[in-house]
Amino acid sequence: MVERQNRRQRALIITLVIICILLVTVYSRESKDGLFHRLQRFSLDIVSPLQKGMSKVLSPVKDGIGYLTDLGDAKSERDRLKEEVESLQDVVDELEEMKLENKTLTKMIAVKESRPDLEYLVVDVIGANPDVWEQTIQIGAGYSNGLQEYMAVLSEDGSLIGRITLCTSEVSLVQLITDERSSVGAMLQNNAEMGVVKGEGRGGVRLELLNQDAEVETGDVVVTSGLGGTCPAGIPVGTITEISERRADLSVGIVISPRASLTRLDRVMVVTSPLPRTAPIKAEEGG
Amino acid sequence: MHRRLTFFAVLVVALLIQLTVSPEIGIGSVKPDILLVATICWALFEGPGQGALFGFSAGLLEDIFSTAVLGVSAFAKILIGYFSGELRQRVISKSVVWPMIIVFFGSILHELIKFATWAIVGLEQRPPFSFGVIAGLALYNSLITLVVYPVIRHFAGLEDRALMFQ
């Protein structure tokens, strides 16, 4: 009995499989307008209104499922966007840096064009002296790059910031004009009255005029005089911001605001030609 | 008579759900194959012969109401229905977990048979094979079994002689 049932079942399966094979064969061989293709199109036409209706009815369910699956997508999307923002931020930072560099270089080119008689070497600032009593910076070039002591060092806009006081093969030490030991020959731009610019430490600079009776006013521009043979003439140093009463030695106290921003130096220009002819005037010599 | 009526009722309801509800509750590209789940559940209640017949009918209707190659789903479901029915005599349990496991593996086998058949027929525009999609479908189908299995058991009036798995 069971054997007969099994045989019947096997026969049924074989029959069904044969029907399937025939269907697949006929369907695969018939044209798009064949009987089975037309039957499929007809069936789809019949069922499509039902599908549309059900789609409308089930749209909240679909939205709910979509919302749930989107949560997973949203998380991965958030992570992806986070990464993208980070990488874009890196690009923005890089571009900002390039923009600043471009601005600096543009200024340097302008300085170079305004003073064709001078030759410069652009050098990166690599550090500052940690000693509070010394107003110096270190730059990333030394005598192997053609630098030597007493060369004038300018900011990106061509203002005097100091002089090289120590040169190694790869690094140089620049004494800023604010250093108490700094002393540079200078003059007033409007009347060529000569004097010496001396550092006062902690960002201060003063001008000592040779002619104590010279006409001087706040706002006057001070430039290097070229005397002393270290700094070329005509390099802007700063602007007079304060003129005090005559002191006991009858000299006038003149305070200068340096034109260069001495606390924000990334790159400087070292005047490599003409070469300094002598050692600088010592501060204690009073010019 | 009652059994035949139930057969057609389950078949038609499963087809309607397959055509209307299934596309709406899909997760990504994975839509549950209600007809396959119904085939396996029916086979687990009725045995290999009935399973194969149900699978053939379900597959054929599925093929007719789609643009797929006619006969491929029917062929795959015959085999799945038959083998699922064979398992009836080997597994005794009232738990729904066993049908879920059978549906899971049955779904994977079903898709593999379809892909193999398409390849043999030389179907040019075959969908790209993705085991991830197949695994997702198998998982979804096995979850749907939680609902389909008790419903078919109820309508088949087989509560008293519920399938016993071992």
Instruction: Using pLDDT thresholds of 50, 70 and 90, give the confidence band for residue B104.
Output: very high
Contact flag B53-A9 (C-beta cutoff 8 Å): no
Among the partner-chain residues B56, B69, B78, the one whose CB lies closest to the CB of A24 is B69
Asked whether the predicted pLDDT for residue A251 surpasses 80, the reply is no
The domain in which residue A203 lies consists of 119-285
At A55 the pLDDT is 75
Among the partner-chain residues A5, A17, A27, the one whose CB lies closest to the CB of B70 is A27
Percentages helix, strand, coil for chain B (3-state, rounded to 5) are: 75, 0, 25
Strands A267-273 and A252-258, bridge-based pairing: unpaired
Share of chain A above pLDDT 90, in %: 18
**Residue A277 is assigned to a structural domain of this protein:** yes
**Residue A195 is assigned to a structural domain of this protein:** yes
What does the pLDDT look like over A11-39, one tens digit per residue?
888 999 999 989 888 888 888 888 888 88
**Residue A85 is assigned to a structural domain of this protein:** no
Contact flag A39-B64 (C-beta cutoff 8 Å): yes
| Chain B CB contacts of A34 below 8 Å | none
Tell me if chain B has a CB within 8 Å of the CB of A67: no
| Chain B CB contacts of A51 below 8 Å | 19-20, 23
Structurally, chain A folds into a number of domains equal to 1
What does the pLDDT look like over A223-244, one tens digit per residue?
998 887 788 889 999 999 988 7
Tell me if chain B has a CB within 8 Å of the CB of A50: yes
Distance CA A111, CA A157 (A): 6
Average pLDDT of span A69-93: 88
Fold held by B2-23+30-155: Arp2/3 complex 21 kDa subunit ARPC3 (1.10.1760)
At B1 the pLDDT is 54
What is the secondary structure of A91-158 as a DSSP string? HHHHHHHHHHHHHHHHHHHHHHHH-TT-EEEEEEEEEE---TT--EEEES--GGGT--TT-EEE-TTS
**Residue A137 is assigned to a structural domain of this protein:** yes
Distance CA A276, CA A148 (A): 9
Q: What are phi and psi for residue A195, nearest 5 degrees?
A: -170, -165
Q: A208, exposed or middle or buried, with CB in 10 Å at 0-12, 13-18, 19+?
A: middle
What CATH number is attached to the domain comprising A192? 2.40.10.340
Measure in Å the smallest separation between the Cα of A19 and chain B Cα atoms: 8
**Residue A112 is assigned to a structural domain of this protein:** no
What does the pLDDT look like over A85-124, one tens digit per residue?
999 999 999 999 899 888 888 888 888 888 888 888 989 8
For the record, the structure tokens of A168 come out as 């190694």
- Among B15, B16, B24, which would you mutate to test the A interface (most chain A Cβ atoms within 10 Å of its Cβ)? B24
**Residue A46 is assigned to a structural domain of this protein:** no
Helices (H), chain A: 2-29, 35-57, 59-114
Contact status, residue A182 vs residue A283, Cβ threshold 8 Å: yes
Using N-to-C axis directions, what is the helix angle for B34-46 and B72-88, rounded to 10°? 40
At A278 the pLDDT is 66
What does the pLDDT look like over A133-188, one tens digit per residue?
678 888 989 888 999 889 999 998 889 999 998 888 888 889 999 888 888 899 99
For the record, the structure tokens of A235 come out as 């390099």
Measure in Å the smallest separation between the Cα of B88 and chain A Cα atoms: 15
Among the partner-chain residues A17, A43, A69, the one whose CB lies closest to the CB of B64 is A43
Instruction: Using pLDDT thresholds of 50, 70 and 90, give the confidence band for residue A1.
Output: low
